[in-house]
Structure 1
C-alpha cells in the first residue's frame, strides 16, 4: 500500500510539474518534473520487487525468491540516478548562461504547493509506518530506515523525503531569480535537485548491494533470534548461530543447539525436525537448519544473559 500511494502521488505530481515546466520555462521546474517522472517509474520497479520477493520457495529456490526484491529495488535506485539526478544536473548546467526570466511564476508556486501536499501525504504514511516498526524494535526511526531489510519502505521514505526537500529548493531558486533578477539562480536550483537525487540514489544503491551480497545481521537481531531459540522448551543451549537475509523481512537461520534430555538418536532427529517446524512457523523465518552441539562447546550469550539449562518458562521475544 505504501508503494501504491507513492506511485499515485508521483504520477499526479509529474503531470502537474511537466505542465508548469512548459508554461514557466523554469530549469528548476524541468528538474522537478524529471524527478517526479523518475520516481513514478521507480515505483513500478518497487511494485515488481514486492511481487517477486513474495513468491513462495520451490525446489529450484529452496530459500525463496526474496533476494529478487533487492535486485529490482537496485534497478529502481539506478533509475533515480540516471533519469533524475543526471538529467537535472545536466539541464541546470546548460541553463547557467541563460538570462531568460521565469514566465508565470505563480503557476510554478501553485504546482509546487500542490506537489508538496501530495508528496507530504505519501511521506507521512511512510514515516508513520517506519516509526511504528522502529518502536517495535527499540530503534530510532533513522536507524531503522537505514538498516531495515524492507527495501521498498526505505526507497519510498527516501524518495518522498528527497521530493519534499527538492520542492523547497525549486521554490527557493525561482524566488531568488525573481528577487535578484539573476536567471542563474533557477539553474542552480536544478543542479541542487540533481545533487540531492544523486545522494539518495547512492544511499539506496549501497543498501541494496549490501543485502544482495549478504550483509551480516545486526547485534540486536542476533540477540532477539538467540533469545527466542533459548526460550523454546526443547532447547537448553545455543553454541552456533548464523543469520542471513534471503529477502525483505525473511531470514535463513542455521544454529547448533543442545536439546533438553538424553533421547535416542531416532527420537532426537524427530525432535530437531519438530523444533525446526516450530521456528519456521514464524512469519519472518524462511528456513531454519538445526544441528546438535558438542558437550564441550561454549554456550553463546545474548544480551549478556544466559538461560539456565533446562529453563522452559522464558517468554519468546519478537523476531524481526
Structure 2
C-alpha cells in the first residue's frame, strides 16, 4: 500500500457517515415532520407493501451475509467491543448500515399498516421521523468510530476485526530508532493496516553511511 494512504478508508467511512446523517436521517425527519403537520389522504397500500416486501427480502439477505462475516471476524469478542476496538471500519460499517436499512423498512411497513388499519395518516409521518432517528444514530456511531481511527485514538488489539497491535514506534521512540530521528520501522498506531498487511515488521532499513 503506498505510504500516506493507509488511513484513506477511515476518511471515506467518515464521509459515508456524514452523507447518511444529512441525506438519509435529515431528509427522513424533515419529510416526517412535514407529513405530521400536513397529513395527506391515504391511498391503496398494495404497491407499497409489495415494494417493501421485496426490499426486506433483498436487504435481509445482505444483512445475513454481513452478520455472519462480522461474527467470524470478531472472534471471541462481544459485538460492541469488536466495533469499539476494531481498526477496519469496513468490517462493521456494512453491518451497521444494513441493520439501519432493514430496521427502516420494518418501521416503514409498520407505519403504513397502522395508518390504514386505524385510518390515521399521522402514523406514516411518525414512522418517517423514527427512520430518520435510526439513520442518524447509525451515522453518529460510524462517524465517531471513524474519527477515532483517523486521529489514531482507536483501541485495536489482536483478534479484533482488522486489528493488529501497537508497535514500539507508535508515538514514542523504540529500540529500532536511529540517531537523527530516523526509525527502522513504520510508526503510528495502525502501522500494519497502513502497510496493507496484518502482521510482520519491515525490519531494519539499510545501514546509514558512516
TM (norm. structure 2) is 0.77
1:80-129 deviations in Å (ceiling 9; x for gaps): 01110110001111111334233220111111111111111111111111
Q: Larger strand proportion, structure 1 or 2? A: 1
Partner of 1:108: 48
Instruction: Supply the distance in 2 between the matched residues of 1:111 and 1:167 (Cα, whole angstroms).
Output: 10
1:196 to 2:196 alignment: no
Please identify the structure whose Cα radius of gyration is greater: 1
Instruction: Supply the distance in 2 between the matched residues of 1:79 and 1:282 (Cα, whole angstroms).
Output: 27
> Is the 2:6–2:196 Cα contact (8 Å) retained in structure 1?
no
Deviation, structure 1 residue 250: 6.3
> Is the 2:86–2:155 Cα contact (8 Å) retained in structure 1?
no
Partner of 1:132: 72
**Residue of structure 2 aligned with 1:182, choices 87, 104, 120:** 120
Instruction: Supply the distance in 2 between the matched residues of 1:216 and 1:120 (Cα, whole angstroms).
Output: 30
- Where relative contact order (Cα < 8 A, 6+ residues apart) is larger, the structure is 2
Instruction: Supply the distance in 1 between the matched residues of 2:196 and 2:108 (Cα, whole angstroms).
Output: 47
Counterparts of 1:1-320 in structure 2, within 5 Å, are 56-57=1-2, 61=3, 64-135=4-75, 138-218=76-156, 221=157, 249=163, 253-254=167-168, 283-285=197-199
Structure 1 residues 66 and 178: CA distance shift in structure 2, 3 A: same
Deviation, structure 1 residue 131: 0.8
Instruction: Supply the distance in 2 between the matched residues of 1:98 and 1:83 (Cα, whole angstroms).
Output: 22
5+ residue gaps, structure 2: 176-183, 185-191, 205-210
RMSD of equivalent CA atoms: 3.1
Structure 1 residues 142-151 or 197-206, which shifts more? 142-151
Instruction: Indicate the SS of the match to 1:125.
Output: helix
Instruction: Supply the distance in 1 between the matched residues of 2:26 and 2:154 (Cα, whole angstroms).
Output: 32
5+ residue gaps, structure 1: 1-55, 226-247, 258-272, 274-279, 291-320
Instruction: Indicate the SS of the match to 1:254.
Output: coil
Structure 1 residues 142-151 or 112-121, which shifts more? 142-151
Equivalenced residues, count:
185
Instruction: Supply the distance in 2 between the matched residues of 1:81 and 1:113 (Cα, whole angstroms).
Output: 25
> Is the 1:254–1:289 Cα contact (8 Å) retained in structure 2?
no
Instruction: Indicate the SS of the match to 1:154.
Output: helix
TM (norm. structure 1) is 0.52
> Is the 1:253–1:287 Cα contact (8 Å) retained in structure 2?
no
Instruction: Supply the distance in 2 between the matched residues of 1:66 and 1:254 (Cα, whole angstroms).
Output: 18
